[in-house]
Structures are given as structure tokens and as C-alpha cells.
Amino acid sequence: LDEDALLPAPQNISILSTNMKHFLTWSPVIVQEETVRYSVEFQGEYEREYANESWIPTSECSLITGTVCNITEDISATVAYNLRVRADVGARRSEWGTLKGVFNRITTSLTPPLMKVIADGYHLLVELEDMGPAFQLRILYWKKGQERKVQQKVVKEVRSVVHLDTMEAGADHCVTAQTYVDAINRSSSFSQTQCVRAQGDKSM
Amino acid sequence: SGELYCSLLNPRHVRFESINMKNVLHWSAPEGTGNGVLYKVKYSVYGVGKWIRKPECRNINRTWCDLSSETSDYEEQYYASVKAFLNGMVSDWVETTRFNPLTDTKIEPPMLSISSTERSITIILTAPEKWKRSPEEESISLLQVYPGLHYNVSVLNKKTKKRWFFSISNHTLVVPWLEPGTAYCVSAQIRVTTPLLDSGFSKEHCIATLKDK
Amino acid sequence: TAGNKILHFGACRVSMSMTEIRAGFTAIKANIQARDPIRTLSILSSPRSLHKVKSSDRCCITHHLLNFYMDKVFKHCKTEDSYVNRKISSIANSFLSMRRKLGQCHEQNQCMCGQESTEKFKEILANYEGMNVTSAAMKSLGELDILLDWME
């Protein structure tokens, strides 16, 4: 069994979390001419406080060969999680390498939504990126020059082209949007403002 | 010890099929049996002690039984069970899984009523009603059952082939500033966020804006 | 489908992410309920439905029930199925997060316990203690939709 202890635990374990997609990464354990496999486990606050600090195997990363694990499905509550990963080569197994500190999805980085503003006749529309069920989109729109009369629309299910409003003939209208995740009660910054012009000329 | 009677294979796929809380028990005949099989049905309210027979579904040869009346209280949950008979042979009672009318029903799409002027169309949406025992009984809209209910409306410009989506909570949508003499096709869906339920999109209703005078 | 709900318990207002809990439960509902053969008893609904609880007592009952699930239910529901175990962990951690939010109301004395909620919770505990722990815990977990339907 001593030989097992020689297999080093994975190092440089870290989390990459953007827009509520969470990934655990680590440095590869190098063993000449051998395929090293990795397994990841997680432990929520509930497990620490109520279930004898038990660990739970992740849904996607048991004996994988890569050094990235998608833990999005496992991090499904807004509490602090511990994460750990170990290496296996044949019958040899390393100790667990544990993420320094805890991970709470409330720290995910939120990017502004990709959007394309469209003028279709007198109609102001926006084409939005579907970022998944956790996201709502808060859209602000106004007539150029009337920045104090901003209107808002919250979109819960992203469809391809969302109708915002009708526009005055020949007038410019501007739009910006941010994402909002109610599970963590946080929003992204606003996207770059985009302006379009309604058909017709202003005298109409 | 020998069986006192011959046992019949069990009915299969015993389950509730529910649409707008019209809750009908369905099943398939025991494997390999043709006509002539008869059935009887019982049901129970979860947490309450007894099974209750359904007289209208006793010795029936069809493979469904409407239990809407017996399961109309959607604050309760239910089980139902079926037994089969054929030439003196009897099957076991076969049960459904636990049925929760509130979360296990399918919601039909809303009804649409559309009108148009030269430059606008008006869409009036009506959510389906909860099943009721008789036409005289007071109607309950699914809007009352699911307070978080809202509508997704799709409007397709048949000329430009562009489709727009609207998400609304009230039941009327006016789309102004349209092109005269143009055909638009509308379809709508019901969405409930908790519990997560949605109807499919309704059949498309097409209408043309009036021509410019 | 983001489904944060602002739950109103009398004077107490708490934002809860119910959609994730519902999705987690729906994924394992058939599996968990199949492990509960007893049709004649409900932990939460016997003899009286939760729906009969007065609005002013709802916050206190909810607080009691969240503690009940944390202390007496989830830990006794370990199964041989790792998928089910993961979903239970997800629900349990969401309950922990929810209870923390509700705790703020408790601290602000906006979660008063009337006689009705005390009586109702005694009934629930009596139903639970009338069975062996694992069966009672599994039955309680299988009744999570009764709790969620009532909370919403």
C-alpha cells in the first residue's frame, strides 16, 4: 500500500464560475506512460452540519481523464460548498486534494447579455441570448433624448425576438439590458447601449 | 399449496391522465388477453384510511374510468387501483403512483379571439377552465388555481416571415402600428412558474389587417 | 422559468428559490414515493391539512417544518442510488439556505407561534414518531410537494 501514497494528490485546484456555470480545474498528475483518472466529490453546508461531514460523488466526474469537471448540476443551492479531487492509476490511488476555501455560487461572475436591437417598421424588438432557466433579463429602453423616461421590461423566458414597444415615426430609440439571477439575487452590469431608428420621417 | 383459483395477469400501465384537472384513470389490458376482460376500480385519498369503490366502473370492459369528481380537491393527493376478471380468473389490484392534481395535470393552450383594424390586431386570451361536474356548476379558471399564470404570445408577419414574442400577464394584447392589408398569424401558450407547468402553443389563428382606405 | 417566490407569511416576506427545490423533488418523486407503501397515513396532512392553518401562523409552521426536515428527514433518506442522493443533497442545502432567510423573520419577532401552529406541529411530530425513523423520514420526503404546494 505504501506505493499508493507515492501517487501525489492533485494540486492547483480552483473554480471557474461564470453565469452560473461552475467548473473545477486542477493540474494534471504526471505518471509516465500511464493514464491517470480523477474523481471529484462535493460537500454542502448541509452535509457538514447535519450529515457527519459526508461527501457526495459529483454527477459527471468519476474516474475521468480530463482535469476539468463541470459541477454546475451539483452546486444547486446558495450555500458554501467544499470540493475535493483525487487521482487513480490502476490500483494506485492518491490522497484527496481539496479546494482551498469554500465555493458559493453567489460569487459567480455575471456578464451582460448578448443582444441585438431591431427596428421592424414602427416596432422596437430585441433578439436575446438564452442563458438558461436561472436567468431573467431586465431590459431598459427609451426614446433618444428622453433619457429620463426610461421604460423597463423583465423577460423570464427568453424567446428569439422579444417585442418591446412601438416607436414614433423616424425617432431613435435606445436599449440596454442586464441579466438577473434570483437564486443568488444578483445582476450583471448593463450591456452596451444600442440605438435604432423607426421607419418614416419625424414630420409624420 | 395449489392455487384455489387461476390468477389472471395484471392490468398494465395503470396511470392517471389529467387535462385541466379532468382526471381519468387509464390502463392496458393484461398481456395476451383479447376481449371479454372485465375490470373494477377503487381509489383512495392519500393519508386517509380506506379504499373507495367506484360503482360506475364496476364490471366494465373499457380500459378507462373517469375519477374527476372523486379527485377534484386539488389540495389532496390520490391513488387509484384496477383489478381484472376473465372466465373466473382474477388479477391482483394494480395501483397508480401517487397522483397530485395540482402538479400532475396538463394544461391546455389558451383560447384566442382575434380582431383587426387597418393598423392593429387585438388578441384576447382565455385560460382554460378547471374540469367541473356539470355545466351548471360554477366555473373556475385555471388562473385562479395557478396565480402565477402568464401567457407567451407569438405573432408571425406572413409577409416578412418575422416572428415576435410577447410575454403578458393580463389577457388582452393589442399590437399597434402594423402594416395594412397584411396577414398575421398568432399563437399562444400558458406558463406557470411554480409548479413548473406549461401548455403547448395553441393552433395558429391568422387574420389580415384591413387594407388602406 | 426562474422562479423566485416572495413568500408572504403574515408580516414576514421572504424570497425563496422554489423552482430549484421543485425541480429537484420532481426528479426523484416517483422513486421516493415508491419507497413508502403506507397509503393510510400522511405525516403532514393527517388528520388536518396544512391548508387549514391560519395565515398568521404560517411563518411559525414553516419555520418548524424547515427545522423538521433538516433535523429529522433528509439525514435518514440515504439511498443506494447516487442520483437520488445528489438530489436530496440539493434539496437539503436549499432548505438550509431557505431556513437562514426565514430565520431573519424569527429574529425580528415576525414569526410568532400561535396555539394552532403549535398544535399542528405536534400532530406532525406524533405522525412521524408513530413510525420507524427511516419509514417516517422517507414518507416525509415523499410529501415534500404537499409542503411546497402549501408554501406557495
DSSP E strands: which ranges in chain C?
4-9, 12-17
Residue A179 confidence (pLDDT): 96
Among the partner-chain residues B155, B160, B177, the one whose CB lies closest to the CB of A166 is B177
Tell me the per-residue pLDDT of A126-158, one tens digit each, with 9 for 90 and over.
999 888 889 999 999 999 999 889 999 999 877
How confident is the model over B189-202, as a mean pLDDT?
A: 91
Can you tell me the ipTM of this complex? 0.89
Q: Which burial class, exposed, middle or buried, applies to C92 when counting CB atoms under 10 A from its CB (0-12, 13-18, 19+)?
A: buried
Please state, in angstroms and rounded to a whole number, the distance separating the CA atoms of residues A23 and A39: 14
Among the partner-chain residues A46, A49, A185, the one whose CB lies closest to the CB of C89 is A46
How confident is the model over A53-71, as a mean pLDDT?
A: 96
Beta carbons within 10 angstroms of residue A146's beta carbon: 11
A90 touches chain B (CB under 8 A): no
Contact B85, B64 (CB under 8 A): no
B91-94: list long-range contacts, CB under 8 Å, 24+ apart: B91/B7, B91/B8, B91/B9, B91/B10, B91/B11, B91/B30, B92/B7, B92/B10, B93/B42, B94/B10, B94/B11, B94/B12, B94/B14, B94/B27
Residue A203 confidence (pLDDT): 56
Asked if residue B180 has a cis previous peptide bond (ω within 30° of 0), the answer is no
CB contact under 8 A, A156 and C1: yes
Percent residues over pLDDT 90 in chain A: 83
C-alpha cell at B74: 386539488
Task: Decide if pLDDT at B2 tops 80.
Answer: no
A116 touches chain B (CB under 8 A): no
Beta carbons within 10 angstroms of residue A44's beta carbon: 28
Region of B133 on the Ramachandran plot (φ > 0 left; ψ -120 to 50 alpha; else beta): alpha
Please state, in angstroms and rounded to a whole number, the distance separating the CA atoms of residues A128 and A137: 9
How confident is the model over A183-201, as a mean pLDDT?
A: 93
Bridge partners of A82?
A43
CB contact under 8 A, C2 and B48: no
Residue with cell 395449489: B2
How confident is the model over C15-31, as a mean pLDDT?
A: 90
Which residues in chain B have Cβ-Cβ distances shorter than 8 Å to C145? 77, 100, 103, 195
A106 touches chain C (CB under 8 A): no
C-alpha cell at A169: 415615426
Tell me the per-residue pLDDT of B164-184, one tens digit each, with 9 for 90 and over.
999 999 999 999 999 999 999
Tell me the per-residue pLDDT of B144-160, one tens digit each, with 9 for 90 and over.
999 889 999 999 999 99
Binding partners of B (≥3 Cβ pairs within 8 A)? A, C
Task: Decide if pLDDT at C35 tops 60.
Answer: yes
Percent residues over pLDDT 70 in chain B: 97
C52 touches chain B (CB under 8 A): no
A168 touches chain B (CB under 8 A): no
DSSP E strands: which ranges in A30-171?
37-43, 56-57, 68-70, 82-89, 92-93, 97-98, 115-120, 123-128, 135-143, 151-155, 161-166
Which residues in chain B have Cβ-Cβ distances shorter than 8 Å to A156? 167, 193
